[in-house]
Amino acid sequence: MTDPFSLAPQPEWYWHLWTDEQGISRQQKCSISSFSLGQLGPGDSPQFSRNLLDQGNAFVTYLPVGWTADWHENHIPKWIYVLRGSWSVESMDGHKVVINAGEYSFGADQDCITTPDGKRGHLSAQVGDETNVQLIIQRNDDAWRGVKPGFFS
């Protein structure tokens, strides 16, 4: 069996709406490619990602079939939008949700305690037989740190 982490992802396609020199809006099909394998934070499971901004505030990440992450926190609060496939998130209280394409979540589990059985933050995993592709948007400051449910309502 081929190691899924040794296979670089295929380009992800999107439509780019733009304005030409004459002021006419146009659309062009483009791709996001050049994914690299790495960790989003210390101790995270490796995953393929592609930064979209120099500051790392927006990027696409690629979780191959079989990808899992042990207990960890989101190091920086972030919006996680599922473009393709599904993934699961299990919190320390035992609540597990599956987030599918077209759905999104906000990861703000910083400063968790470590329980006697080693839980801290959350578990996450790719779900099903399709690669999970996510668009992640995060700030490089503390504006979203510690926000509670309903903050964005």
Counting every residue, how long is the chain? 153
CA distances 17 to 14, 20, 59, Å, are 10, 10, 19
Higher-pLDDT residue of 59 and 85 is 85
Residues in a beta bridge with 12:
32
The mean pLDDT of 8-34, rounded to a whole number, is 69
The Cα–Cα gap between 82 and 102 comes to 6
The CATH code belonging to domain 10-138 is 2.60.120.10
Please state the pTM of the whole predicted model. 0.70
Domain ranges of the chain: 10-138
Task: Answer for the pair 5, 37: CB distance below 8 angstroms, yes or no.
Answer: yes
Joined tokens for residue 149: 């449910």
Say if residues 77 and 147 touch (Cβ distance below 8 Å): yes
Examine the pLDDT at 126 and tell me if it is beyond 80: yes
Confidence at residue 34, expressed as pLDDT on a 0 to 100 scale = 73
Structure-model confidence comparison of residues 6 and 142, the more confident one: 142
The residue behind tokens 């996680």 is 80
* 59 to 49, 115, 140: CA distances (angstroms): 7, 31, 13
- Please report where in the chains the tokens 């470590």 appear, as a residue: 114
Answer whether residue 14 shows pLDDT above 70: no
β-bridge pairing 122-127 and 68-72: antiparallel
Q: Are 40 and 47 in contact (CB under 8 A)?
A: yes
Q: Tokens 């999107």 belong to which residue?
A: 14
pLDDT at 33: 72
Q: Please, are residues 62 and 51 in contact by the beta-carbon 8 Å criterion?
A: no
For residue 75, the model assigns a pLDDT of 84
Residue 108: pLDDT band with limits 50, 70, 90:
confident
Q: Tell me: the pLDDT tens digits for 39-53?
A: 766 676 777 776 655
Predicted confidence at residue 47, as pLDDT, reads 74
